[in-house]
């Protein structure tokens, strides 16, 4: 009978022992991992509940605005040439565009012709009749005087001859009638001469003066319309928009340009009654401008006004309380903010007030 070597079975019995040890180690580590995971989960839930329960930041958002000017014409005209483009910086009174209007040019010619005619009539009324006309009327009067004197002498002779019985009564009456007629004609000629010397009546001069004034007003009106064919900037600012192209017809009152005064911006925002606190005109509020990446910008409140009731109130009433109204607030930067433009947002941390 052969003997078994003392270490022949050692490798076979050691493998289960090592596997059992590994299994035991895993069993000890698994509860630790599970415990750590549960702790992390519980901590995450607690932090989430804490953040959810914490009141949200009371933030008010405003919008940067600026004065906007529209440039339009008073007369229908066609765009002839643009002298400014979108984005250009312009000064008050600077030419932006040239317009053309044949109708205005025709009205100008008519008004000037009427003025010239009225001034000529006014000059005639002030100067009176021409020297030649006065001399002509005087000659007619002198001739009528001579005729009247001759008729008077003839009538006296006829009366003497009738008294002597030389001529008949008919001849005498004819001579007397001729004397009366020539005397009347002489007086009429004298009045015409005096009228020529006196010149135009005061009323006629007033009418002539009034006609000249009316014609001058018509010329001034047309000149004003002609000035509307040159579009000028009403204020310093930046050309924001242009609404027409060269050659297009622009109607009366239709904007051609929009100019924004970016040099004097302000911020408009709304606050509820429950946020109002010590808000007043002249107070300083601080906000951030995300578009520029600047923070803690100081703004001074310049105006506070209630907003329309239909769009601003928010009901807080359940069983008690009141309906919260909103107010529109305007504020200007205390110091110029480089790059601040209309349309940018400004954020105010109202909880810090």
User: What is the domain-level CATH number for residue 78?
Assistant: 2.40.50.100
Find the domain containing 180 and state its range: 106-224
95 and 139 both lie in a single domain: no
pLDDT at position 3 is 46
Domain membership flag for residue 27:
no
Cα 350 to Cα 147, 170, 272, 285: the distances in Å are: 112, 125, 11, 9
CATH code, domain carrying 322: 2.40.30.170
Residue 154 in domain: yes
Q: Which pLDDT belongs to residue 323?
A: 72
Q: Do 293 and 314 share a structural domain?
A: yes
295 inside domain: yes
- Do residue 179 and residue 324 come from a single domain? no
| CA pseudo-torsion sign 242, 244, 247, 251 | negative
Indicate whether 193 and 335 sit together in one domain. Answer: no
Give the predicted TM-score (pTM) of the model.
Answer: 0.56
> 36 lies in a domain?
no
Q: Is residue 134 part of a domain?
A: yes
Does residue 236 share a domain with residue 93?
yes
Residue pair 205/126 in contact (Cβ under 8 Å)? The answer is: yes
Q: Is the same domain home to 274 and 232?
A: no
The one-digit pLDDT tens for each residue of the chain (353 residues) are: 444 444 444 444 555 555 556 666 666 777 777 777 787 888 778 877 765 555 445 789 999 999 999 999 988 999 999 999 999 999 999 999 999 988 888 888 999 999 999 988 888 777 766 777 778 888 898 899 999 999 999 999 988 888 888 888 898 889 899 999 999 999 998 888 888 777 667 787 888 889 999 999 999 988 888 888 899 999 999 999 999 999 999 998 899 999 999 999 999 999 988 888 888 999 999 999 999 999 999 999 999 998 876 554 555 555 455 677 889 999 999 999 999 999 999 999 887 66
- Residues 155, 181 within the same domain: yes
Residue of 314, 305, 260 lying closest to 279 (CA atoms): 305
State which of 238, 259, 280 marks the end of a domain. 259
Contact 297, 333 (CB under 8 A): yes
Q: How many domains does the chain have?
A: 3
Position 112 scores a pLDDT of: 92
User: In the prediction, which pLDDT does 161 show?
Assistant: 87
Residue 224 has phi, psi (to 5 degrees) of -65, -40
Point out the domain boundary residue: 211, 236, 259: 259
Whether residue 207 is contained in a domain is answered as yes
Q: What is the DSSP letter of 168?
A: -
Question: E strand or H helix at 286, and its extent?
Answer: strand 284-289
Q: Which residues contact 103 (CB under 8 A, 6 or more apart)?
A: 75, 76
pLDDT at 17 (0 to 100): 59
3-class DSSP assignment, residue 247? coil
Shared domain check, 174 and 249: no
Q: Let me know if residue 32 belongs to a domain.
A: no
255 with 266, same domain: the answer is: no
> What whole-number distance in Å separates Cα of residue 213 and Cα of residue 150?
52
Evaluate whether residue 309 is within a structural domain.
yes
pLDDT of residue 202: 78
Residues in contact with 19: Cβ distance below 8 Å, sequence separation at least 6, in sequence order: none
């Amino acid at each position: 009978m052969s003997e078994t070597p003392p270490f022949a079975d050692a490798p076979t019995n050691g493998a289960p022992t090592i596997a059992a040890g590994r299994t035991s180690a895993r069993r000890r580590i698994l509860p630790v991992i599970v415990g750590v995971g549960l702790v992390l989960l519980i901590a995450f839930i607690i932090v989430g509940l804490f953040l959810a329960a914490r009141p949200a930041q009371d933030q008010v958002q405003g919008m940067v605005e600026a004065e906007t000017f529209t440039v339009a014409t008073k007369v229908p005209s066609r765009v002839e040439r643009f002298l400014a483009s979108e984005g250009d910086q312009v000064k008050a009174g600077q030419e932006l565009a040239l317009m053309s209007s044949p109708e205005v040019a025709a009205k100008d010619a008519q008004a000037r012709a009427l003025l010239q005619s009225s001034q000529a009539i006014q000059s005639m009324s002030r100067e009176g009749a021409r020297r030649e006309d006065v001399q002509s009327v005087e000659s007619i009067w002198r001739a009528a005087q001579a005729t009247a004197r001759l008729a008077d002498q003839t009538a006296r002779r006829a009366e003497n001859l009738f008294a002597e019985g030389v001529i008949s009564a008919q001849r005498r009456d004819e001579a007397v009638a001729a004397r009366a007629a020539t005397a009347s004609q002489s007086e009429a000629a004298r009045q015409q001469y005096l009228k020529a010397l006196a010149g135009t009546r005061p009323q006629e001069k007033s009418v002539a003066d009034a006609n000249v004034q009316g014609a001058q007003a018509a010329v001034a009106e047309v000149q004003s319309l002609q000035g509307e064919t040159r579009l000028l900037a009403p204020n310093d600012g930046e050309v924001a928009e242009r609404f027409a192209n060269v050659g297009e017809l622009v109607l009366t009152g239709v904007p051609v340009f929009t100019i924004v005064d970016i040099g004097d911006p302000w911020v408009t925002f709304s606050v509820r009654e429950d946020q109002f606190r010590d808000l007043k005109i002249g107070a300083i509020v601080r906000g951030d401008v995300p578009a520029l990446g600047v923070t803690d910008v100081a703004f001074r409140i310049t105006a506070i006004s209630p907003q329309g009731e239909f769009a601003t109130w928010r009901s807080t009433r359940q069983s008690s309380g009141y309906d919260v109204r909103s107010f529109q607030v305007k504020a200007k930067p205390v110091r110029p903010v480089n790059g601040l433009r209309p349309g940018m947002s400004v954020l105010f941390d109202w909880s810090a007030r």
